[in-house]
Amino acid sequence: MASETATRTVWDCRWSRPGYRLFGVKEHLQPENLWVCVRQGERRSVTEEECEKCSHWEALPEGRTWQ
């Protein structure tokens, strides 16, 4: 039976970017989360759970990846 709700993953949103991460640094000292949102012109740390429920989620354009 198919799910009635499409999964909106942070990595499939056109507004998400990988967060800046430092190798060997504990999580609470990392400069950003694993993912950030740039929709409002600033880099804002987000969680996968937040993006699953976000009303601003937009799919990546076909063939495009974030940089």
Q: How far apart are CB 5 and ligand SF4 at their closest, in Å?
A: 14
Shortest distance, CB of residue 24 to ligand SF4, whole angstroms? 27
User: What are the angstrom distances between the C-alpha of 11 and each of 1, 25, 29?
Assistant: 25, 23, 23
CB of residue 25 to ligand SF4, shortest distance in Å:
23
Interacting residues toward ligand SF4 by CB under 6 A: 10, 13, 15-16, 37, 39, 46, 50-51, 54, 56-57
Residue placing its CB nearer to ligand SF4 in the complex, 20 or 25: 20
- Coil, strand or helix at 28: helix
* Adjacency order of strands within the sheet including 44-46: 16-18, 35-37, 44-46
